[in-house]
Amino acid sequence: MHWMTAHIKRRVQYLSDQAPYMNSNSKEVASGMHPDELQGTACDPATVQKHDIVRRNSKAGRNFVDRMRCTVVGGHGGSGCVCFFRDSFVPNGPPNGGDGGSGGNVWFEADENETSLSCVKQMLRARPGVNGKGKNMHGQGGDDLIVKVPKGTMVREYQAANKPGEIGGGSSGSQQSQEIRHSRRTDDSTGFLEELDRQIHASEERARLSRESLFVHYPRWEDRNNVSRVRIPPEYRDAMRELEHAAPLSVDLVSHGQRVLVARGGVGGPGNPHFISPDDRQPHYALRGLEGQRRALDLELKTIADVGLVGMPNAGKSTFLRAVSNAHPKVAPYPFTTLNPYIGTVTFADTFQMTVADIPGLIPGAHRNVGLGHAFLRHVERSKMLVYIIDVSRPSPWADLERLQAELELYQPGLARRPTLVVANKADREDARSNFERWSHMTDVPLVPASAKHRKNILKATHTIRQILESA
3-state helix, strand, coil in the chain (%, to 5): 35, 20, 50
Residue 6 has pLDDT above 70, yes or no: no
pTM confidence score: 0.68
Do the beta carbons of residue 188 and residue 196 sit within 8 Å? Answer: no
Bridge partners of residue 441, in order along the sequence: none
Euclidean distance between CA atoms 410 and 420, whole angstroms: 17
Average pLDDT value for residue range 58-78? 77
Average pLDDT value for residue range 205-219? 69
**CA-CA distances (angstroms) from residue 245 to 166, 173, 281, 290, 397?**
12, 14, 35, 15, 57
Other CB atoms within 10 Å distance of the CB of residue 191: 12
Euclidean distance between CA atoms 465 and 447, whole angstroms: 11
Euclidean distance between CA atoms 233 and 229, whole angstroms: 12
Residue 453 has pLDDT above 60, yes or no: yes
**pLDDT on residue 202:** 59
Average pLDDT value for residue range 436-464? 89
Average pLDDT value for residue range 413-423? 89
Average pLDDT value for residue range 412-416? 87
Q: What is the DSSP string of 38-49?
A: GTTSTT-HHHHH
Q: Could you say which DSSP state residue 467 is in?
A: H
Average pLDDT value for residue range 412-425? 89
**pLDDT on residue 266:** 92
Euclidean distance between CA atoms 104 and 129, whole angstroms: 7
**For the chain, how long is the longest CA-to-CA vector?**
107
Better pLDDT: 182 or 443: 443
Average pLDDT value for residue range 135-149? 93
**pLDDT on residue 196:** 59
Nearest to 257 by CA among 105, 109, 107, 114: 109
pLDDT (tens digit per residue) in 258-300: 999 999 999 999 999 998 888 888 898 899 999 999 999 999 8
Nearest to 280 by CA among 228, 236, 348: 228
Which residues make Cβ contacts (< 8 Å) with residue 91, sequence separation at least 6?
none
| 31: Cα separation from own chain's centroid | 50
Lowest pLDDT segment from 62-66, 179-183, 418-422: 179-183
Q: Which amino acid is at 205?
A: E
**pLDDT on residue 103:** 94
Q: Which amino acid is at 211?
A: R
Confidence of residue 242 (pLDDT cuts 50, 70, 90): confident
Euclidean distance between CA atoms 274 and 283, whole angstroms: 9
Q: Which amino acid is at 312?
A: M
Q: Are strands 420-425 and 447-449 parallel, antiparallel or unpaired?
A: parallel
**pLDDT on residue 443:** 83
Q: Which amino acid is at 393?
A: S
Euclidean distance between CA atoms 71 and 42, whole angstroms: 42
Better pLDDT: 335 or 331: 331
Euclidean distance between CA atoms 337 and 360, whole angstroms: 8
Q: What is the DSSP string of 370-430?
A: TTSHHHHHTTTTT-SEEEEEEETTSSSHHHHHHHHHHHHHHHSTTGGGS-EEEEEE-TTST
Which residues make Cβ contacts (< 8 Å) with residue 325, sequence separation at least 6?
344, 345, 346, 356
Mean pLDDT, the chain, whole residue set: 78
Euclidean distance between CA atoms 390 and 411, whole angstroms: 20
Better pLDDT: 169 or 158: 158
- 50 three-class SS: helix
Residue 189 has pLDDT above 60, yes or no: no
Percent over 90 (pLDDT), the chain: 25
**pLDDT on residue 43:** 46
Confidence of residue 106 (pLDDT cuts 50, 70, 90): very high
Which residues make Cβ contacts (< 8 Å) with residue 450, sequence separation at least 6?
320, 423, 424, 425, 427, 456, 457, 458, 460, 461
Better pLDDT: 353 or 23: 353
Other CB atoms within 10 Å distance of the CB of residue 129: 31
H-assigned helices in 157-188: 173-186
Q: Which amino acid is at 338?
A: T
Which residues make Cβ contacts (< 8 Å) with residue 419, sequence separation at least 6?
384, 385, 386, 468, 469, 471, 472
Residue 177 has pLDDT above 60, yes or no: no
Residue 38 has pLDDT above 70, yes or no: no
- 331 three-class SS: coil
Confidence of residue 142 (pLDDT cuts 50, 70, 90): very high
